[in-house]
């Protein structure tokens, strides 16, 4: 159970002090996970003797004469100030209906009517925070779209494709309606046959494998590197068979997979490489082959990006894109995303409707101007987390590979206490996430592959231990320190 820190009001203290069979009631509480705090003022206001059994459970906070002398003094403002100052997330203030005799100690300390959470939780992601950067450009673009009523795949999408191609340093960007489509589209263009195999990872979002399955091919999973959580290139060759057609590494959490050895193996065996860059907009990989730093998603035959709103580059809705330097592939993908046609009602291929709406072109074109600055801010917060959390408990902090410039789409830590820490942080005002709790080979959808627990031990362990902390460009020093402090507090109690 997560530890609860509670700041008691005078009324809460009075009610506790007057509980019948207090010693017994207190003995039944889980003190390893409960801490009661009280201000000297509330102690005085309680106006009742505090039995020894309760007294020894209380931590009395230091007095603050300045607060008492303020004109606006009330116990409520005092509790609020103390809770904030000492980082105590819950204040216990029983309202009149909870003051009837017979309310148990347990009820008093746990009842939602008596507890108030005094802080705004630190959000996992706050999409409101970047609006000011984007709003003006978005509103003028919106007016343009409304004026010319080209709502789908119009001029704004084309302008974004050009801007993003320039940003990435590739010849072509083909925008589509989500990241899953951005994975499917190049695979469709490659005319895979049923039974063809594509080597990928299991520790990723399911869309990576779904795209392979959707085109009738078979995902073949290799494990991830235990330091960086991306494809372990040393495991690829053992999985190559005569049916292998390609390799699909994932630049997970914003860190590029080790592309040079992957590209070398692909070249040696005549395989294509499709990069899942859905979490790595703007990240760099240092490639010996390319002779320097290159953007993630531009090294293989093609790279797939997602613009799901929470991504480092996110649309105001769904969006995605494929980046490539291959002219013929780009041309075919442009047709395939639009029912296989180059000319309306003339269809050269069996395609799909994977078109993106034009308003997303406006948003993305505006946002791409800010992407490097936002990524720099994410890197700054990642470093702050690392400074504050180094050596805390059993935490394994994210490491940047020597060949990578990570853009921290997610900041994930590993701990054996993951589930417990997650509950603790939620109870202490920190929103967190798990990416991802079950590796793909252990998902029900892929049970048909018959891959038992133990097949991919690193992926399985990471899934059990990974926890994602709040991460977005507009985090504040207070928020990052608060998150780190809660984690430190948790490990003090373990
Ligand atoms: C690694 C990875 N691949 C693919 C996708 C699919 O993108 P979308 O949700 O835009 O379809 C995502 C999105 O979360 C992702 O994180």
391-405 tens-digit pLDDT: 999 999 999 999 999
| CATH number of the domain residue 288 falls in | 3.40.640.10
- pLDDT over 50 (residue 106): yes
Point out the ligand 1 atom lying closest to the alpha carbon of residue 207.
4
User: What mean pLDDT is predicted for residues 249-268?
Assistant: 98
Are residue 142 and residue 35 in the same domain, yes or no? Answer: no
Are residue 310 and residue 364 in the same domain, yes or no? Answer: yes
419 CB neighbour count, 10 Å cutoff: 15
Are residue 313 and residue 388 in the same domain, yes or no? Answer: no
Residue 494's pLDDT band (cuts 50, 70, 90): confident
Are residue 384 and residue 319 in the same domain, yes or no? Answer: no
| CATH number of the domain residue 425 falls in | 3.90.1150.10
Q: What is the pLDDT of residue 109?
A: 79
Instruction: Express as a percent the part of the chain with pLDDT over 90.
Output: 76
Q: Output the residue whose Cα is nearest ligand 1's atom 8.
A: 179
CA–centroid distance, residue 406 to ligand 1 (Å):
18
Query: Best mutation site among 210, 280, 308 for ligand 1, i.e. most ligand atoms within 8 A of its Cβ?
Result: 308
Q: What is the dihedral of CA 8, 10, 11, 15, to 10 degrees?
A: 80
Q: What is the pLDDT of residue 63?
A: 85
Point out the ligand 1 atom lying closest to the alpha carbon of residue 308.
10
DSSP secondary structure letters along 225-257: -TTT-SB-GGGTGGG--TTEEEEE-B-GGG---
Are residue 31 and residue 108 in the same domain, yes or no? Answer: yes
Q: What is the pLDDT of residue 55?
A: 93
Q: Where does ligand 1 bind, in terms of residues with CB under 6 Å?
A: 178-180, 204-205, 207-208, 250, 276, 278-279, 306, 308, 320
Q: What is the pLDDT of residue 78?
A: 87
CA–centroid distance, residue 184 to ligand 1 (Å):
11
Helix H or strand E encompassing 203: none
Residue 142 lies in a domain: yes
CA–centroid distance, residue 309 to ligand 1 (Å):
11
User: What mean pLDDT is predicted for residues 440-451?
Assistant: 98
Are residue 215 and residue 319 in the same domain, yes or no? Answer: yes
CA–centroid distance, residue 361 to ligand 1 (Å):
18
Are residue 359 and residue 409 in the same domain, yes or no? Answer: no
CA–centroid distance, residue 92 to ligand 1 (Å):
42
| CATH number of the domain residue 66 falls in | 3.40.50
Are residue 91 and residue 222 in the same domain, yes or no? Answer: no
CA–centroid distance, residue 204 to ligand 1 (Å):
9
Residue 476 lies in a domain: yes
Q: What is the pLDDT of residue 73?
A: 78
Residue 270 lies in a domain: yes
Q: What is the pLDDT of residue 1?
A: 38
- State how far the Cα of 490 lies from the Cα of 425, in Å rounded to an integer: 8
Of 303, 248, 249, nearest to 281 (Cα)? 303
Last residue of a domain, one of 321, 336, 368: 368
Strand partners, 469: 411
Are residue 400 and residue 343 in the same domain, yes or no? Answer: no
Point out the ligand 1 atom lying closest to the alpha carbon of residue 178.
10
CA–centroid distance, residue 33 to ligand 1 (Å):
38
Are residue 211 and residue 343 in the same domain, yes or no? Answer: yes
Residue 157 lies in a domain: yes
Identify which has the larger pLDDT, 34 or 97: 34
Q: Output the residue whose Cα is nearest ligand 1's atom 7.
A: 179
pLDDT digits (tens, 9 = 90+) for 215-258: 999 999 999 999 999 999 999 999 999 999 999 999 999 999 99
- State how far the Cα of 69 lies from the Cα of 424, in Å rounded to an integer: 36
pLDDT digits (tens, 9 = 90+) for 124-179: 999 988 888 888 888 999 999 999 999 999 999 999 999 999 999 999 999 999 99
Point out the ligand 1 atom lying closest to the alpha carbon of residue 279.
16
* Domains: count for the chain: 3
The torsion angles phi and psi of 333, rounded to 5 degrees, stand at -65, -35
Residue 364 lies in a domain: yes
- pLDDT over 60 (residue 99): no
Are residue 342 and residue 380 in the same domain, yes or no? Answer: no
pLDDT digits (tens, 9 = 90+) for 49-91: 999 999 999 999 988 877 777 776 788 888 888 887 887 878 8
Last residue of a domain, one of 345, 368, 391: 368
Point out the ligand 1 atom lying closest to the alpha carbon of residue 211.
4
- pLDDT over 90 (residue 103): no
Residue 97's pLDDT band (cuts 50, 70, 90): low
Residue 123 lies in a domain: no
Q: What's the mean pLDDT when you consider all of the chain?
A: 93
Are residue 160 and residue 261 in the same domain, yes or no? Answer: yes
Tokens of 339: 């029912």
Q: What is the pLDDT of residue 251?
A: 98
CA–centroid distance, residue 224 to ligand 1 (Å):
18
CA–centroid distance, residue 76 to ligand 1 (Å):
46
Residue 3's pLDDT band (cuts 50, 70, 90): low
Last residue of a domain, one of 368, 388, 423: 368
- pLDDT over 60 (residue 2): no
Domain with 16 in it:
4-117
Point out the ligand 1 atom lying closest to the alpha carbon of residue 320.
10
Point out the ligand 1 atom lying closest to the alpha carbon of residue 307.
10
Query: Best mutation site among 278, 307, 357 for ligand 1, i.e. most ligand atoms within 8 A of its Cβ?
Result: 278
Instruction: Express as a percent the part of the chain with pLDDT over 70.
Output: 96
Residue 122 lies in a domain: no
CA–centroid distance, residue 183 to ligand 1 (Å):
9
- pLDDT over 80 (residue 98): no
Buried b (16+ CB within 10 A) or exposed e, 286-312: bbeeeeeebbbbbbbbbbbbbbbeebb
- State how far the Cα of 471 lies from the Cα of 106, in Å rounded to an integer: 35
């Amino acid at each position: 159970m997560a530890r609860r820190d509670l700041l008691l009001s005078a009324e809460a203290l009075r009610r506790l002090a007057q509980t019948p069979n207090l010693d017994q009631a207190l003995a039944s509480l889980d003190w390893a996970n409960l801490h009661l705090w009280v201000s000297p003022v509330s102690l005085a206001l309680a106006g009742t003797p505090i039995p020894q059994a309760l007294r020894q459970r209380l931590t009395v906070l230091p007095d603050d004469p300045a607060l008492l002398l303020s004109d606006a003094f009330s116990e409520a403002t005092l509790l609020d100030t103390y809770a904030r100052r000492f980082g105590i997330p819950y204040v216990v203030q029983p309202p009149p209906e909870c003051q009837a005799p017979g309310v148990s100690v347990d009820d008093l300390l746990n009842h939602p009517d008596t507890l108030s959470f005094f802080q705004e939780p630190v959000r996992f992601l706050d999409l409101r925070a970047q609006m000011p950067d984007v709003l003006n450009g978005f509103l003028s673009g919106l007016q343009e779209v409304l004026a010319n009523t080209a709502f789908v795949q119009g001029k704004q999408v084309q302008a974004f494709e050009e801007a993003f191609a320039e940003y990435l340093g590739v010849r072509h960007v083909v925008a589509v309606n989500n990241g899953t489509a951005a994975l499917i589209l190049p695979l469709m263009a490659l005319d895979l046959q049923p039974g063809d195999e594509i080597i990928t990872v299991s520790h990723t979002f399911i869309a990576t494998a779904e795209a392979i399955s959707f085109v009738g091919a078979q995902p073949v999973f290799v494990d991830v590197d235990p330091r960086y959580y991306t494809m372990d290139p040393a495991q690829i060759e053992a999985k190559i068979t005569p049916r292998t057609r390609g390799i699909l590494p994932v630049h997970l959490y914003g860190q590029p997979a080790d592309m040079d050895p992957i590209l070398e193996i692909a070249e040696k065996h005549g395989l294509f490489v499709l990069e899942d860059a859905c979490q790595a907009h703007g990240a760099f990989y240092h490639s010996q082959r390319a002779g320097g730093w290159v953007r993630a998603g531009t090294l293989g035959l093609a790279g797939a990006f997602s613009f799901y709103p929470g991504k480092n580059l996110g649309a105001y809705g769904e969006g995605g894109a494929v980046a490539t330097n291959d002219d013929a592939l780009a041309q075919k993908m442009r047709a395939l995303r639009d029912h296989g046609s180059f000319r309306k009602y003339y269809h050269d291929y069996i395609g799909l409707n994977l078109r993106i709406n034009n308003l997303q072109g406006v948003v993305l074109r505006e946002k791409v101007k800010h992407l490097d600055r936002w990524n720099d801010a994410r890197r700054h917060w990642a470093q702050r987390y690392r400074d504050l959390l180094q050596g805390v408990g059993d935490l394994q902090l994210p490491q940047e590979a020597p060949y990578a410039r990570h853009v921290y789409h997610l900041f994930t830590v590993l701990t054996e206490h993951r589930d417990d820490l997650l509950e603790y942080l939620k109870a202490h005002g920190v929103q967190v996430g798990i990416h991802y709790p079950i590796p793909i080979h252990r998902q029900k959808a892929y049970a048909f592959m018959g891959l038992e627990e133990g097949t991919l031990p690193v992926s399985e362990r990471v899934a059990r231990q990974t926890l994602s902390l709040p991460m977005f460009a507009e985090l504040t020093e207070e928020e990052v320190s608060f998150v780190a402090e809660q984690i430190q507090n948790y490990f003090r109690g373990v």
